[in-house]
Structure 1
Amino acid sequence: MTRRIVRTATQLGALTVFTILVVFFLDNQFRVLPSAIHTYLPAHHPGLAITDITVTKCSKVNVFSSCKLDPNVWQRVEKDLYLGSGWVSAAYLHVKRKEEKDLTADDQVVVDVTVGRLDPSTGEKEVEGVKWVSRPAGLWLKRSAKRHASDSNSAVTAVDVLFGADAVDPRDGWQMTGTPLLLETSGEVLEARLSVRRGHPVAPTKPQPRIGENGKFKIMQAADLHLSTGTGHCRDAMPADGSPCEADTRTLEFMGRLLDEEKPDLVVLSGDQVNGDTAPDAQSAIFKFAELLIKRKIPFATIFGNHDDEGSSPRADQMALIESLPYSLSRAGPELIDGVGNYYVEVLARGSSKHSALTIYLLDTHAYSPDERNFKGYDWLKKNQIDWFRETAEGLKKAHKEYTHVHMDLSFIHIPLPEFRDESNYYKGAWREGVTAPGFNSGFRDALVEAGVLLVSVGHDHANEYCALSRNEKADPALWMCYAGGAGFGGYGGYGGYHRRIRFFDIDMNEARINTYKRVEYGDLAARVDEQIIVDGGRVVHSE
């Protein structure tokens, strides 16, 4: 932690190392660095009504200055409204709540929130007992003294803060206020925007994936979105014509177009959804991809890459947030297993069947090597993860045999396995860059083959987009190992004019067949690139 502080101070030259250390250790209520900002999960308080909201500002160089209010009265939203960039100032949103049963005739309940310089009541028809009141940072609250207001669906029952000009809130019952808080900030990334929930929380929709009545099921694998807080800046955009390019805007438009055209039944987000270095508020980045899927009512499953938690929020916090979203099938997985996001998704057979037709295993490949001296580069799947996978796959076999057709197993991870480096494998697609697999081989490829998994698909190396055929000892096809190709403009492209792309797996359970192809962001937009059948009759096949 001290090294991070010294490095940041050296880069900015705004404060001495001594001053920063004094602020950090003596006044730990401040989030000095963006990397120390954690995803905030707004507390739900059934039976509580919001009676007031305010913003406090304080000085970071004055140890006697505080952004805290009485915690017995106020709940602070634990996000610095300057996202740690204010080296002199910090600011926080505070919410006051009261038990509905304890409300008196003198209490006022918040029924609306807006932001602006002008009094929003101007020109409005007066309603007895209802008035707008001003708070700092351009915040205006409409409060009602009517006793029944707290029970109404119009009453504000939760408040959150999101950042960036493109901030969205996909949660049921939540709505953005639109205009950012009036703070002394510059740049759209630091636009702090309020989101409010009216009424009490409802359980998020969690659909059970099922094979269609036509026997088909389609999976979209979107890898390496590299979304930021705010619109972000493009890297290696094609065509390289110097046109202005907002990374997240272009990434999300691409993904949204394919969602509408391909209509997948499930989306797998296979890591590096968040570009940690440019996402001082990971929640705002996560909500952007989630909004695309939730509004289309498409179930999705996520795993982490090496960049997701390099910024504001650790894996566990991000997964807790993602688990709480509608249509998310993501799970943290067993607590005693290494990593966050070791789980599986069952896709049921068509109709009303309760039998699994397809099982999708998702595992966390972590980030960087824990033993750089002996194994440079990236981390590997740990023994207890592989043991968990083996035990889980074995435990499901009996139930899977009850399916009257051919049951199939697939897997998704982020960092490629060492076997992806084997150039003797047949492959289809482009192999543009070196395979950055871990230096230590923990044996997951063998575990997949032993369990009968037909394919494993990864992300991580953005410009690689091939499927390689791994064989068994008798030289028979054993496992397809695919790259999705990078989809996001916030991550690198390069390598000879790489166009962002997304991979699809078109599954026909009638024939136990899997066809895979990619769609590109630029060029022949309708084309299916490198289309090939990789599984037929429930077996790995080489179709060429």
Structure 2
Amino acid sequence: MSLAVSSISLLALILFSFTFIIFNSKGQCTHVSSLKFSPNSSFKIALFADLHYGEATSTDGVPQQDKNSSKAMSTLLDRERPDFVVFLGDIITANNLLIANASYYWEQAISPTRKRGIPWATVFGNHDDASFVWPSEWFSATGIPHVRCPPKTLPRSGEGTCSFRGTTRLELMKGEIERNNLSCSESGPMDLWPSVSNYVLQMKSSENPKSTVAFLYFLDSGGGSYPEVISNAQARWFQQKSQEINPGSRVPELVFWHIPSKAYEKVAPRFGIHKPWVLGDHSSNDDYEEHWENK
């Protein structure tokens, strides 16, 4: 089958501080480098961004905003029944975490998707591997408060000890891939490190498994442990990979990354983009506002 970018309808929702994007399209992740359309030539993708799990770690137990995020994702996944999920960065707020291994919160974030047997891919944002940031109020006249370290019973947290170094992109990605058969994420070419989440997945036709109908690219836009940038090396990798696997741009290509580029300022007005979105409080399932912007 043929697939045109214009045939993919887009619904963007920003709900409780994270983004959901649904592409009308139905299939399964057969292996790490290929996705396949279903016989009815459809494949639905849900996108979650800026979940920021672990942001309110000063509270006991699981922070309420994380519970709300899991509930909202579960509701959307049950309602939309996507075939694939993309986590578009800032899955956790590492600069708020006092644990040696932030994978505990990473696993919480992907849990609703994994429980439903839906394959996914991730790309890093600017908060995912940031080192702990000392709050300025800790150095006021009242002095540094008691630091609550994670309990020893917390899985994969660092054996109940406080840690301020953060968890690297490589550690987060390695942990996700090793512990989850449904993960289609990749660590990307070593020559692009510390920029890690740079890879491409192929979308295959349901009628002809050898026929590629679209490519999904994932780029690491940096931040956290290194500058917020898509480097020239990444751009060259993208161009070379595209020419190699899709000469002449014969099939559509979709690119996912976390930090929007300046190009949006020029591109969006030209196409009269209509942006339905919902803005709300991370800590409440009830307080939100609907907004529509027409360019």
Shorter-chain TM range is 0.5 to 0.7
TM normalised by structure 2 equals 0.65
Alignment-derived partner of residue 274 in structure 1: 92
Indicate the residue corresponding to 1:216 in structure 2: 42
Kept after mapping to 1: 8 A contact 2:83/2:118: yes
Does 2:133 match 1:298?
no
Write the distance in 2 (CA, Å) between the matches of 1:531 and 1:360: 27
Q: 1:351 to 1:424 in 2, by over 3 A?
A: closer
Alignment deviations for residues 517-536 of structure 1 (CA, whole Å, 9 cap, x no partner): xxxx6589xx9x8699xxxx
Distance 2:249 2:275 in 1: 33
Over aligned residues, Cα RMSD in angstroms?
Answer: 3.5
More strand by share: 1
Say whether residues 1:308 and 2:157 are aligned partners. Answer: no
Query: Identity of paired residues, percent?
Result: 26
CA distance in 1, matches of 2:228, 2:249: 32
Give the equivalent residue in structure 2 for 1:225: 51
Q: Which runs of 5+ in 1 are unaligned?
A: 1-204, 234-244, 371-377, 402-406, 431-464, 466-484, 486-497, 502-520, 533-543
Query: Matched residues in 1 for 2:182 and 2:115: separation?
Result: 10
CA contact (8 A) 1:355 1:400 kept: no
Measured in 1, the distance between the counterparts of 2:182 and 2:189 equals 21
Give the corresponding residue for 1:249.
67
* Aligned counterpart in structure 1 of residue 172 of structure 2, from 312, 315, 318: 318
What does 1:425-464 align with in structure 2 at a 5 Å threshold? 425=270, 426-429=272-275
Structural mapping, 1:309-348, within 5 Å: 309-311=129-131, 312-324=166-178, 325-338=180-193, 339-348=195-204
Q: Deviations over 1:210-261 (max 9, x none)?
A: 112111111111001101188776xxxxxxxxxxx70110001100111111
| Larger RCO (alpha carbons 8 Å, 6+ apart) | 2
Which residue of the partner structure matches residue 385 of structure 1?
234
5 Å-filtered alignment, 1:426-505, equals 426-429=272-275, 498-499=279-280
Larger radius of gyration: 1
* Farther off after superposition, 217-226 or 353-362: 353-362
What is the aligned partner in structure 1 of residue 245 from structure 2? 396
Stretches of structure 2 lacking an aligned partner (at least 5 in a row): 1-29, 132-165
Aligned partners of 1:206 and 1:326 also within 8 Å: no
1:369–1:330 Cα change, 3 Å: closer
Take 2:247 and 2:120, find their aligned partners in 1: how far apart are those partners? 27
Matched letter for residue 261 of structure 1:
R
TM (normalized to structure 1)? 0.37
Q: Distance in 2 between matches of 1:381 and 1:296?
A: 33
Is the partner of 1:410 in helix, strand or coil? Answer: strand
- The change in CA–CA distance for 1:345 and 1:319 in structure 2 (over 3 A counts) is same
Q: Equivalent residue for 1:260?
A: 78
1:410 counterpart = 2:254: yes
Cα distance, 1:368 vs structure 2? 6.4
* Equivalences, count: 221
8 Å Cα contact 1:211/1:357 also seen in 2:
no
Residue 358 (structure 1) aligned to one of 207, 211, 214: 214
Letter of the 2:202 partner, please give it: E
Counting helix residues as a fraction of each chain, which structure ranks higher? Answer: 2
Question: What is the SS of the residue equivalent to 1:429?
Answer: strand
Q: Taking structure 1 as reference, are residues 409 and 330 closer, same or farther at Cα in structure 2, changes over 3 Å only? A: same
Mapped to 2, the partners of 1:252 and 1:409 lie a distance apart of 30
Q: Distance in 2 between matches of 1:292 and 1:416?
A: 26
Structure 1, residues 439-464: CA drift from partner, whole Å, max 9, x if none?
A: xxxxxxxxxxxxxxxxxxxxxxxxxx
Q: Which runs of structure 1 show a deviation greater than 4 angstroms over 4 or more consecutive aligned residues?
A: 205-208, 229-233, 398-401, 422-425, 521-524, 529-532
1:252–1:368 distance in 2 versus 1, CA, 3 Å: closer
Q: Which residue of 2 aligns with 1:40?
A: none
SS in 2 for 1:225: coil
- Counterpart of 2:241, as a letter, is T
SS of the residue corresponding to residue 210 of structure 1 reads: strand
| Letter of the structure 2 residue corresponding to residue 314 of structure 1 | T
Question: Does the 8 Å contact 1:356/1:400 carry over to 2?
Answer: no
Distance 1:320 1:213 in 2: 33
What amino acid maps onto 1:299 in structure 2?
Answer: P
From the superposition, tell whether residues 303 and 418 of structure 1 become closer, same or farther in structure 2 (CA, over 3 Å).
same
